[in-house]
Amino acid sequence: MTPLRGQKSQYYEGGIRVPLIVAAPGVTTPGSVCSEPVTSTDFYPTMLELAGLEAMPRQHLDGLSLVPLLRGGRHLRRDAIYWHFPLYHFSCSAVRSGDWKLIEFFEDDRIELYNLAEDIGETNDLSGSYPGRAKNLRQMLHRWRKQVDASIPKPNPDYRPAQDR
């Protein structure tokens, strides 16, 4: 959806950016707004904390409770948020740190780098202009995938496109 690029199942903003509305009586201030990016892995630790239960970090490896934001905080204490989609069609991983987002595509080992503050539509790949930043974000992404034991798709040596069958 303009101005966002992409669609469902893609890691461009048009596929991952959605509004989140939370009502937690006694915790949230009605009508308050927060612009901190969050991800669905944050929901489980948030619900545990709201229910007064202990965190279970082995069950939510990289999610953080959103309760500090719900109470009026502006930021969470984390360096980045991550996405991983190891399926055939749009097989990739992504990392967002501040305004910068890197997408790594598994099929051709290609990366794309965007500054979302300056280019919300992800029209200008900056990976060639900022190789150091791209390398750093890619290393962060690889460390995270190792930490969460993310599966990486392997090429099927027997695969032939339909037109070649």
What is the tens place of the pLDDT at every residue in 98-117? 999 999 988 888 999 999 99
In-domain check, residue 122: yes
Residue 43: what pLDDT?
93
Does residue 165 carry a pLDDT above 60?
A: no
Residue 153 banded pLDDT, cuts 50, 70, 90: confident
Comparison of pLDDT for 130 and 85, the residue scoring more: 130
In-domain check, residue 126: yes
Residue 157 banded pLDDT, cuts 50, 70, 90: confident
Comparison of pLDDT for 84 and 88, the residue scoring more: 84
Q: What is the CATH number of the domain that holds 98?
A: 3.30.1120.10
In-domain check, residue 44: no
In-domain check, residue 137: yes
Domain count, the chain: 1
Average pLDDT over the chain reads 88
Give the SS3 label for residue 45: helix
Dihedral over alpha carbons 11, 98, 129, 85 (to 10 degrees): -20
- Residues 6 or more apart from 84 whose CB is under 8 A from it? 93, 145, 148, 150
pLDDT tens sequence across 50-85: 999 988 877 777 789 999 999 999 999 999 999 888
Q: Give the strands of the sheet with 110-115, arranged side by side.
A: 81-85, 92-97, 100-105, 110-115
> Both tokens of residue 106?
């598994």
Residue 89 banded pLDDT, cuts 50, 70, 90: low
Structural domain of 100: 81-147
In-domain check, residue 114: yes
In-domain check, residue 124: yes
